[in-house]
């Protein structure tokens, strides 16, 4: 069933009783429903985050993880502290939340969260930089520039439009090292061995920046919440609650 949080600014999938003991934060362009098999039988809410979920209208500005974290903080303040379970984009939000508002978080369970780059991001090619300059001076149309962007963009980038694309660009350029080092609550990190969106070696490197973190890999699992990864994340969540 659906419930509203933060004075109606968030709609969330709800299981069990109120107040919830678990808050689940979904991945990019996913929904709170992703967590249904993980939170089954628990008292939980899984918000659909604005702009980051097709089930919620985007904000008017290009938010980053800090703005999302403040919205979630407003939502859980009436019943915190809670255990946060978060996947991918939701984990970026959870890291900011735990670093700034530890009084609202009992423990974090993170999976498949892009937190560190082990290699520098590739620079735009000379050809694309030339296209941008030509568009700036009016020689090339914005439509042609957009076509060139789409050739080079990821599937998530190409699927996003307007402010949602601006949010996506801001997120992929964020750095979380300061927030990771500031976390004091227990953190359980469980990663798919074959995750290509947030590789396990980068996840393990991020775990070493958190003094309270444990890290485990699920053999054969990928990035999405499916198969053995569901069981592993649920097991870590139940241990956190215990």
CA distance 174 to 217: 25
pLDDT at 80: 78
Angstrom CA distances, 190 to 45, 96, 106, 121, stand at 21, 19, 17, 25
CA distance 211 to 108: 13
What is the average pLDDT across 184-210?
96
What is the average pLDDT across 45-56?
93
**Of 119 and 237, which is predicted with more confidence?**
237
Domain spans of the chain, in order of start? 2-116+176-241, 126-165
Residue 177 has pLDDT above 70, yes or no: yes
Residue 133 has pLDDT above 60, yes or no: no
Give the list of residues 6+ apart from residue 29 with CB closer than 8 angstroms, or none: 52, 53, 54, 156, 159, 160
CA distance 8 to 200: 37
pLDDT at 75: 96
Predicted structure pTM score: 0.86
Residue 149 has pLDDT above 60, yes or no: no
Residue 39 has pLDDT above 80, yes or no: yes
CA distance 107 to 239: 10
What is the residue-averaged pLDDT of the chain? 89
Q: Which CATH number fits domain 2-116+176-241: 1.10.287.470, 3.40.30.10, 3.40.50.1820, 1.50.10.10?
A: 3.40.50.1820
């Amino acid at each position: 069933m659906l419930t509203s949080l933060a004075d109606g600014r968030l709609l969330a999938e709800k299981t069990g009783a109120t107040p919830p003991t678990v808050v689940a934060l979904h991945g990019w362009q996913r929904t709170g429903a992703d967590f249904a098999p993980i939170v089954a039988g628990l008292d939980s809410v899984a918000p659909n985050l604005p702009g980051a979920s097709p089930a919620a209208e985007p904000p008017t500005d290009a938010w980053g993880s800090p703005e999302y974290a403040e919205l979630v903080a407003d939502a859980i303040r009436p019943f915190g502290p809670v255990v946060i379970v978060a996947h991918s984009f939701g984990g970026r939000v959870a890291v900011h939340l735990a670093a700034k508002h530890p009084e609202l978080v009992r423990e974090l369970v993170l999976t498949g969260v892009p937190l560190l780059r082990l290699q520098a991001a590739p620079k735009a090619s000379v050809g694309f930089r030339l296209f941008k300059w030509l568009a700036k001076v009016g020689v090339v149309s914005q439509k042609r520039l957009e076509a060139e962007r789409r050739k080079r963009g990821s599937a998530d980038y190409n699927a996003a439009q307007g402010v949602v694309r601006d949010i996506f660009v801001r997120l992929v350029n964020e750095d979380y090292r300061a927030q990771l080092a500031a976390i004091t609550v227990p953190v359980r990190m469980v990663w798919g061995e074959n995750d290509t969106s947030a590789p396990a070696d980068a996840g393990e490197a991020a775990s070493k920046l958190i003094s309270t973190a444990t890290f485990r890999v699920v053999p054969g699992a990928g990035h999405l919440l499916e198969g053995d990864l569901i069981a592993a994340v649920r097991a870590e969540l139940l241990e956190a609650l215990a």
